[in-house]
Structure formats: structure tokens, C-alpha cells
Amino acid sequence: MRDAFMVGLVLAAVWFVEKCLTTPMVFRPIVVGPLVGLVLGDVKMGILCGATLETVFMGAIQVGSAVPPDPMIGAGVGTALAILSGGGPIVAFTLGFPIAIFGQSIKVVCFIIRSWYMGSACKYARNVELGKMQLLNWAGLFLQCAIYGLVGFSTVYFGASAVEGFINSIPASIMNGLNVAGGLLPAVGFALLVQPMMNKNNIIYFILGFICVAFLKLPAIGVTAFGIVLAYIIVFEKTGGNGGSGTVEAVSEKEHDDWEELFDE
């Protein structure tokens, strides 16, 4: 009971620090593993398990709303089960990765729950109710910390076999639904990112990017490079290539107005 409680407390505390200090990357396995080893009395094994799992989850970086396997839950629970079972880093790897995939579904659920009070957050922002905005922000953080702590406690307390049995007992329809939700979240995140920037003047760039990807099959790097070149050309034309004096040569007034109307931000 004590070991399970300490592991859950570590996961909750790590996530709290991660968000309060604006993402210093303390949730990585290389940090979580030694912390779990410290509370369980085997720092050396915690370091070994953390380093091993860091190589596995090195590319598991959340970009926008794309949800990868959760490295914090995988490292915390995998390291704990490896230490408590007397195994080594191989045990942490064997158990950590499937638990991290389960943590991915947990994070999707957290995102869904957090989306429920976004309407209230927008209302408080419009009314400049800073106190309520702060309360809502802290409540969401504590809720997610509590969920992580509960997952860590439960998985360590009931053991790896119970975790595997629980995952297998989840109906396929629910797991498929969570997978679909996880696949849609990047699109939702991108839409939320574009929404405040989109207007009638710059929507042409969005359409151009869509054409490049959907029909010309250009990779993301190619579209990015094309966008950089296009932005440079537009700025160069606006300044007339003279360092920003604003003089544009050999362009009629009507053509200049049409160009500005199309490309002005």
C-alpha cells in the first residue's frame, strides 16, 4: 500500500511541477525513473530503468494535440513494478510500454473532460473575471494530477497482471472510440490554433497549403520551405527591396491596392 501510494504521489507531483514551471521536461523517464527509485529505496535501479525507458520514449513528444504514448506513466509504473518484482530494466521496458499506451488513452480522457468547461473559460475571459479563470485553471490541473496519481497507485497496487487483465477486459468498441478521438484531437488542436488568426485576407494561404499537401503531395518540410520563400517575396515586394522604406517601384496604384488587399495581414 505504501509503495503504491508513493508512486502515485510522485506521478501527481511531477505533473504538477511540469505544468507550474512551464514544461521543464521533468516528466521524462530519465527524471521519473530515479524519483520512483528514490521513494522505493533503490535509486540505482531507478536510474537504470529511467535511462532504458528514455531511449524508448525519446521520440514521444506531444506536439499540439497529438497524443503519443504517455512516457511519465510508462516510466513511473514500469520502474516501480521492476523494482518491486526484483527485475531489472528489461522488466521496466516490458511493462512500461503497454502501460504507456494505456496512459495515452487516459490523457485523451483528460482532454475530453477539460473540453467540457472551455465554454465557461471563454465566458470568464470575455467578462474579465480573472479570479474565476484562475480557479478554473487550477481545478483542471489538480484534476489531472489526481487522475495520474490514481492511475499510478492502482497499477502498482494491483500489479501488472491486473493491469493487463483490465486492458484486455475493455470492450473493443470503447478502445476504438478512444483511438478515433485521439486521431481527431490533432485536427481539433490545429483548428483552435488557426481560428483566431484566420480572416478573409489570409485564408488564401490556408487554401494554398491545403492544395500543396492534398493534391501536390508535398511533405510538411516542403510546404514550410515554400511558405518561408513566399513570405520573403511578399515582404520584399511591400518594402521594394530597400530595407523597409515602403517605396515600391514600377507598380501602379491600382495594382498595389489589389496586391495589398490580397496579401495584407
Q: Which of 194, 212, 242 is the last residue of a domain?
A: 194
* Residue 165 scores a pLDDT above 70: no
- Smallest CA-to-CA distance from 4 within 212, 180, 160 is with 160
Per-residue model confidence (pLDDT) at position 243: 53
pLDDT tens for 105-142 read 888 888 788 778 888 888 888 888 888 888 888 988 89
pLDDT tens for 57-96 read 776 666 665 677 788 988 898 888 888 877 778 778 777 8
For residues 38 and 100, state if they share a domain. yes
Per-residue model confidence (pLDDT) at position 10: 92
Per-residue model confidence (pLDDT) at position 256: 52
Q: 71 vs 19, 31, 67, 118, 262, CA distance in Å?
A: 16, 11, 11, 26, 45
pLDDT tens for 71-80 read 898 889 888 8
Q: Which of 194, 222, 250 is the last residue of a domain?
A: 194
For residues 190 and 232, state if they share a domain. no
For residues 33 and 141, state if they share a domain. yes
Lowest-confidence segment of 3-17, 25-39, 65-79, 158-172 by average pLDDT:
158-172
Provide the number of structural domains found in the chain: 2
For residues 226 and 118, state if they share a domain. no
Give the HSE-up count for residue 134: Cα atoms under 13 Å, Cβ half-sphere: 4
Q: Which of 171, 194, 217 is the last residue of a domain?
A: 194
Separation of alpha carbons 152 and 79, rounded Å: 11
Predicted TM-score (pTM) of this structure: 0.60
Q: 212: domain range? A: 203-263
Per-residue model confidence (pLDDT) at position 59: 63
Burial (Cβ within 10 Å: 0-12, 13-18, ≥19) of residue 9: middle
For residues 183 and 215, state if they share a domain. no
Residue type, 43: V
Separation of alpha carbons 19 and 13, rounded Å: 10
